[in-house]
Amino acid sequence: MDEHKAHSRRMMEALQWVAPGSPLREGIDNVLRANTGGLIVLGFDESMKALVDGGFYIDTVFTPSYLYELAKMDGAIILNREGTKIIYANAHLNPDASLVSTETGMRHRTAERVAKQTGALVIAISQRRNVITLYQGNFRYAVKGIEVILTKANQAINTLEKYKIVHDQAMANLAALEFEELVTINDLLQVLNRVAMVLRVKNELLIYLSELGTEGRLIQLQMNELLSDIEEEALHVLRDYSPEGALKPYEQLGKLQNLVHQEFLEEHVLLRLLGYQTTTHSEEIVHPRGYRVLMRIPRLPIMIIENVVDHFGTFPAIYKASVAELDDVEGVGEARARKIIEGIRQVREQTFADRHL
């Protein structure tokens, strides 16, 4: 797994612990309100045991109100890794003082060092500043207020809405080029680049959603609605254009999502993802198989679409086929052959109308 992906996954996992709606967050919110400050550690393994000095061994079920009561005492509260039990309270932690810390206060310094030394998730609740900071390994994250994240998440949704308009137009243009047999590799790369932009926003939103917890439900619904169309259509484009032997469309899309943290996706990377030789010229003409056009014909079962695509190989051949030729396809009789020809004609008409919107 590449480093960037591992980092964002770790970050999302860490954020989920303290997302609104989680029991730990409920406890932390109580601590924030009581203004006592707190130091919470998740995980009590050998490396952690070695750092604990004094305190009370409690070993009881975790509840938010118990956490709040225990936070009135000095020192750290240590939970099990699952966050279901409180193991220690009032514990003094002695991490290696030679570990570098950028923090100034002792609570936060200790939290950072313990996280670096043990790899455990450590949460510091500041008494003076009323903020929650997460530490794990070398990762540090200041949890923001819900309003701040909601604003950012809404901005991301607005961006997605704009991208969707551009995407729909680009798809209409691609369809028109397909009828004219003018699609080039370059057009495909543009489509992929647009999808990459959308996936970039999706990745950003996924982090906000882990942080928003139950407060993010509406954003999640909006995101799913905007993305499902775009992602589905991207899958159809990949199905239409990837050469034999390429990865499956959903695998290609998954790979693209992992790649999008790079600001600029190089042409050869995208070509390889599509399953083309990296030496393919970007002006080369390519033909779709015809899935997307055939799928727009009402009441044409997917099995028949598969048969037609397999039989003809490319969309131009389907487009030019006569009733008799279509009749040769398994599952297609004369009536259905006429329906397909009429269907393609209507899709064509609609496509050219959409193109000039």
Q: Which residues are annotated as a binding site for ATP?
A: 75, 93, 106-110
The CA-based angle 54-59-89, given to 5 degrees, is 35
Per-position x/- string for 316-355, each x denoting binding to ligand ATP as judged by CB under 6 A, each - no binding: ----------------------------------------
128 interacts with ligand ATP by CB under 6 A = yes
For the bound state, the minimum distance from the C-beta of residue 111 to ligand ATP, rounded and expressed in Å, comes to 8
107 interacts with ligand ATP by CB under 6 A = yes
> Could you give the C-alpha distances from 223 to 157, 161, 228, 279, 350, in angstroms and in order?
7, 9, 8, 37, 28
Residues 6 or more apart in contact with residue 134 via CB below 8 angstroms: 14, 15, 17, 18, 121, 122, 123, 140, 141, 142, 143
DSSP state of 184: B
Among 61, 106, 324, 357, binds ligand ATP (CB under 6 A): 106
- The dihedral through the CA atoms of 147, 150, 154, 155 has a sign that is positive
For the bound state, the minimum distance from the C-beta of residue 139 to ligand ATP, rounded and expressed in Å, comes to 18
Binding-site residues sit at 75, 93, 106-110
126 interacts with ligand ATP by CB under 6 A = yes
When the beta carbons of 93 and 337 are compared against ligand ATP, the nearer one is: 93
8 Å CB contact between 280 and 185: yes
184 interacts with ligand ATP by CB under 6 A = no
Cβ count within 10 A of residue 106: 9
Among 127, 186, 280, 314, binds ligand ATP (CB under 6 A): 127
Cα(353)–Cα(140) distance, integer angstroms: 52
Stretch that binds ligand ATP, among 124-132, 158-166, 249-257, 288-296 (CB under 6 A): 124-132
Lookup: tokens for 256: 């693209």
For the bound state, the minimum distance from the C-beta of residue 123 to ligand ATP, rounded and expressed in Å, comes to 12
Q: Which residues bind ligand ATP (CB under 6 A)?
A: 37, 39, 74-76, 92-93, 105-108, 110, 126-129
